[in-house]
Amino acid sequence: MGKNVNIERNATFGPNVSIDDNSGIGIDCEMYGTVTIGSNVMMGPEVVVYTSSHNYKRTDVPMNQQGLTEEKPVSIGNDVWIGRRAIIMPGVTIGNGCVIGAAALVTHDIPDMCVVGGVPATIIRKRG
C-alpha cells in the first residue's frame, strides 16, 4: 500500500492487490487475485478486475464443475484513469498514461498513452 491511497466504500479486493502512491479504488469496485496498480491511478465506481475465469473447454463435464482457469495477473500502469463500470480481463497490462472509457471491456494489453473504449475495448486515439 502506497502513500495517500483512497479506498472508496464497498470496494472489495483480496490480499494480492497492491496499489502505489496517490491512487484510488472506486466505490463498489471488485478485484481479486494478483492486481498491481501504479501511482496516480483514478478508478471510477464499479470497476471490475478479473484475474481468472471459469473453465469451459470440456463438454463431458458441466461448466460449473470444471473449476477456474489458472490465474493471470493484471497490471495497471501509472497515471491511468479507469471509467465507471470498466471491466479488465485476466492477464491484461494497461500502460502508463492510459484512459479507459466507462463500460469498456478490456480484453488485451493497452500500450502507453492510449485512450480506449468499447466492447471489446479498442484504441480511440493516443494522448499527446
Residues designated as active site: 54
H helices then E strands: how many in the chain? 0, 16
User: How far does the chain reach from its first CA to its final CA, in angstroms?
Assistant: 30
Helix (H, G, I), strand (E, B) or coil at 18: strand
